[in-house]
Amino acid sequence: MSDATTNAGTAIPATLPLRNDLIGEEPYGAPQLDVPVCLNVNENPYAPDPAVVETIAERVRRIAPTLNRYPDREHIELRRAFAAYLRRESGAGLGVEQVWGANGSNEIMLQIFQAFGGPGRIALGCDPTYSMYPEYARDTFTTWQVAHRNEDFTLNVERTLAAIEDVRPAIVLLTSPNNPTGTPLPMEDLERILAACETASVRGAGEGVHPVVVVDEAYIEFRNPGTPSAVTLIDAHPNLAVSRTMSKAFAFAGARVGYVAASRGIIDCLRIVRMPYHLSAVTQAAALAAFEHTDEQLGRVAHLRETRERTAAWLRTRTYRGRALEVADSASNFLMFGGHFEDRDRIFAAMLERGVLIRAVGPDGWLRVCMGTDEEMARFREALDEVLREAETGR
């Protein structure tokens, strides 16, 4: 059973003038199923503390009488909170004009493609990577091309540099930690790519125009302690943009708040393409309330990091048809495992039958599991052992 078979299909009459390039396409989305254990969309499994809920409710209550008016379209107070958080979390001293928010990092990415992509422009990624990137490209009529990663899913820097020179992209899109593999991007690799892009040309653009390098750090808070963030390079590299989200480590997926840190020039480009009043007053109030409780919101990150390491070690002791499971090294809150599942959809379906929803994503032969609560992970281990035993006996 693949992800597509667990999502609702479409019912688009042939008489509707859907764009030709969208005919036959399915809406993106991981399965949303009512099962006891959901470990498929990389959420933080721990709900906000009651104190956080109270602060959110109080902030929303205060702004409720003003909902007849449009919100601050520049969301200045929230941008101050983003900058303060990045200073605390990564040591980056950025001004308000260097950060920008949106409805999840998905909207940030779409704005980047709207601003820098388009007909005649190329975006370059490094696969396997987040499956939404080619959809942003499709939706903005941007050509999507990839430079393949190494077998261990680390970035092949030489191959990426060659692709930058060859295809002359407007956007070079890197991910750290990478989704779906969890692979971190070493700063020295990023700096080599930044240096190349500062002299590279862009197909379809004028002379002296260079690619924008985008680093997607949706899962960066789960990195190992002491690992630097790309946001610390922004002041030295005006063509660098670093995307973040509150959805993952910050336990705020339902609020839909993402942001980007970059030079003022890049931020002003995004302001050109943003929709009017794109962040509601309620969203801004909820995000500000969450930042008042940063310690509580991030309070489970260390435990989830430990859970990742324990789960990776446990998976490596398991076998599938006589061969040890492979586990990709991860700096995120998920693990990609398997490597040689002959029919991963069958494994996925067998886990689902046991009430455990994981994800069939990434290269063939692999599955991905997000770190859940201790109880959820115990059920995951129990279910996977059952499924692997069945595979051994050929049932």
Location of structure tokens 């109270």: 54
Distance CA 302, CA 298 (A): 8
Q: What is the 3-state secondary structure (H, E, C) of 151-193?
A: CCCCCCHHHHHHHHHHHCCCEEEEECCCCCCCCCCCHHHHHHH
Distance CA 126, CA 169 (A): 13
β strands within the chain, DSSP E: 37-38, 99-102, 122-125, 143-146, 171-175, 212-216, 240-245, 258-262, 319-320, 323-324, 326-327, 334-338, 356-357, 366-370
Q: H helices within 173-250, ranges in order?
A: 187-197
pTM of the model: 0.94
The encoded tokens of residue 87 equal: 């200073």
pLDDT of residue 2: 40
Dmax over CA atoms of the chain, in Å, equals: 65
pLDDT of residue 33: 83
Residue 109, φ and ψ in degrees, nearest 5: -65, -40
In the chain (395 residues long), the average pLDDT of successive 10-residue segments reads: 47 90 85 89 95 97 98 98 97 97 97 98 97 96 98 97 98 97 97 98 95 98 95 97 97 97 98 97 98 96 98 97 96 97 95 97 96 98 96 74
Residue 198, φ and ψ in degrees, nearest 5: -75, -10
Structural domains of the chain, with CATH: 3-48+299-393 (3.90.1150.10), 50-292 (3.40.640.10)
In degrees, rounded to 5, the angle at the alpha carbon of residue 336 between the alpha carbons of residues 112 and 122 is 25
3-class state of residue 331 by DSSP: coil
pLDDT tens-digit map of 78-115: 999 999 999 999 999 999 999 999 999 999 999 999 99
CB 196 within 8 A of CB 172: no
Residue 42 CB contacts under 8 Å (≥ 6 apart), including other chains: 179, 219, 248, 332, 333, 334, 370
Distance CA 356, CA 212 (A): 40
The secondary structure element, H or E, covering residue 236 is: none
pLDDT tens-digit map of 258-316: 999 999 999 999 999 999 999 999 999 999 999 999 999 999 999 999 999 999 999 99
Determine how many CB atoms are found less than 10 A away from the CB of residue 116. Answer: 25
Distance CA 21, CA 247 (A): 31
The secondary structure element, H or E, covering residue 46 is: none
- How far apart, in Å, are the Cα atoms of 336 and each of 121, 168, 180? 32, 31, 7
3-class state of residue 83 by DSSP: helix
CB 103 within 8 A of CB 124: no
pLDDT of residue 28: 80
Q: Closest Cα partner for 306 from 251, 356, 373, 358?
A: 373
